[in-house]
Structure 1
Amino acid sequence: MKHSSITASLVFALAASCLPIAAMAQAKATAAEATAMVKKGVAAMKAAGKDKDKLYTEVTAKDAKWADRDLYLVIYGMDGVVRAHGANAKLVGAAMMDMLDIDGKPYIKERIELAKTKGTFWQDYKFTNPTSKKIEPKSMYCEKLDDAVLCAGIYK
């Protein structure tokens, strides 16, 4: 009897110790979620017509439709200026074309070029994860719509 209660206690302790690992795994967004968020953003921009300011405000305000864990929507103009940013409102209006990641990669310039040539694409670079506050490898899914590029990414 004593042996089975010790075994049960050990199994429970082991299972409980795995919960934080499972929670961390679920804390990161998936590629499918990033793609879905961008497609939802594209649909919202199309529906907004010429009055996109409300959408930009919602995205930047971290509205639950546009920010979830480490996943958020970002909208750039084709000039590299941030129109909306779901993780950092301070970047709205910033000209980011010359921005470099930690490895010296001009990721915004590359993103705009990919938007011009491909329209829909995934891009890899390094960026600060708003959840962990650490610089991490990131893959960004983007779609060009008219004079804008809508993106959402996953941290690896």
Structure 2
Amino acid sequence: MLRKEIRTFFRVLIAGLVLPAYVQAESAPQEADAARELLTEAVEYYQENGDKALAVFSRQGPFVKDDLYVYVVNTNGIMLASGGPSVMLTGRDIYNAVDDDLKKKFEDALSLPESDTIHEGEYPWSSWNTAGREITKHVYYQRVEDKIFVVGYYQPRASSEDALKLLDTAVEAVRADPRETFKAVNALDPRFYKDDLYVFVVELENNRFVAHGSNLRLVGRDFSQLTDITGKPFGKEAVDKIAKSDTAEFNYQWKHPISGDVESKHAYARKVDDYLVVVGYYQPGKAAAE
């Protein structure tokens, strides 16, 4: 069991170190600046205090700030410190617990020369504040001696572009094999959700949900009868619109899957045979359009 947990953790660690940096710092400048600042502070503290600093990084202290924390891995594959959930792996040889095909990627990532350069990457990860969902974590990391220091922040809000990309994926899957796609969506297959985005599908013959990537209790319910917290009959609006066109957009107020707050949501819908496939993104601070 522990070996499986280590392998899962290491896969996302590798992804963070070797993925290209699709920088989204513009959408979260405060988090990005804070993460880079904490990384710089950690590196400077280590350079001043040596290995004694590692114990400090693993404590709830100055190097744990809200959702930001430091973790450190050495070039031998040992987790040396963590101020977050991965603290359970401190002292573990995670390198020898991974598949052989991942070891080469690990070696490539750690072959970076020691320098003042701060690198960037992204990977999916979950925390105690993400309601069990894996959401995008943007990380900054730097090599010092034989150690990699890492700090990252979560990006739980996806964009309209992300919503349309996920909709494309879902539409193709429903067109190819609807029943298997419904099972995958209902099983929270990561192909069908990203951050706070998720897919839902309605069978137009009876207007009932056949798949929902966030709330399984809606499966089987009549979508056309749904109203939001303001009383807006958004389900009927969507069904009426898709009856006139193969695509539609609509707005409503709905609970955010991570924060639990009710927010404005803009949804994109497409008709695939006898199904309505929908993905929407959240717009905090905005009122849903009539």
Flag whether TM exceeds 0.5 (same fold).
Answer: yes
Corresponding residue SS for 2:191: coil
Aligned to 1:53: 179
Cα displacement string for residues 134-154 of structure 1 (whole angstroms, at most 9, x for unaligned residues): 110000111111111101110
The residue matched to 1:130 in structure 2 has which SS?
A: coil
State the partner residue of 1:134.
261
Task: Give the distance between the partners of 1:101 and 1:138, measured in 2 at CA.
Answer: 11
Aligned to 1:149: 276
Does residue 108 of the first structure (1) align with residue 238 of the second (2)?
A: no
- Distance in 1 between residues matched to 2:214 and 2:35, nearest whole Å: 36
- Taking the aligned partners of 1:12 and 1:97, their CA distance within structure 2 comes to 45
Higher relative contact order (CA 8 A, sep 6+): 1
- Distance change >3 Å, CA 45–CA 134, structure 1 → 2: same
What percent of counterpart residues are identical? 28
Q: Distance in 1 between matches of 2:231 and 2:188?
A: 29
Q: How many residues align?
A: 141
Per-residue deviation at 1:46?
Answer: 1.6
Would you say 1:36 and 2:165 are equivalent positions? yes
**Relative to structure 1, is the Cα distance of residues 120 and 12 closer, same or farther in structure 2, using a 3 angstrom cutoff?**
closer
Calculate the TM-score normalised by the size of structure 1: 0.81
Which digits, 9 at most, give the CA deviation of each residue in 1:57-94, with x for residues without a partner? 10011100012221000001113200100001121111
Distance in structure 2 (CA, Å) of the matches to 1:118 and 1:60: 27
Greater helix content = 1
Report SS of the residue matched to 2:162.
helix
8 Å CA contact 1:80–1:109 kept in 2: the answer is no
Aligned residue in 1 for 2:203: 77
RMSD: 2.4
Unpaired runs of at least 5, structure 2: 1-32, 39-64, 69-137, 139-152, 284-290
Question: How many angstroms apart in 2 are the aligned matches of 1:131 and 1:40?
Answer: 22
Residues 1:128 and 1:13: Cα distance change in structure 2 (over 3 Å): closer
- Aligned to 1:97, the other structure's residue is in SS state helix
TM-score of the two chains, using structure 2 as the length reference: 0.45
Amino acid at match of 1:150: V
AA partner of residue 38 (structure 1): L
Q: Tell me the distance in 1 between the aligned counterparts of 2:276 and 2:161.
A: 18
- Secondary structure at the counterpart of residue 121 of structure 1: strand
Residue 67 (structure 1) aligned with residue 67 (structure 2): no
Would you say the 8 A contact 2:226–2:234 is kept in 1?
A: yes
Partner of residue 225, structure 2: 98
> For the Cα contact (< 8 Å) 2:250–2:268, is it kept in 1?
yes
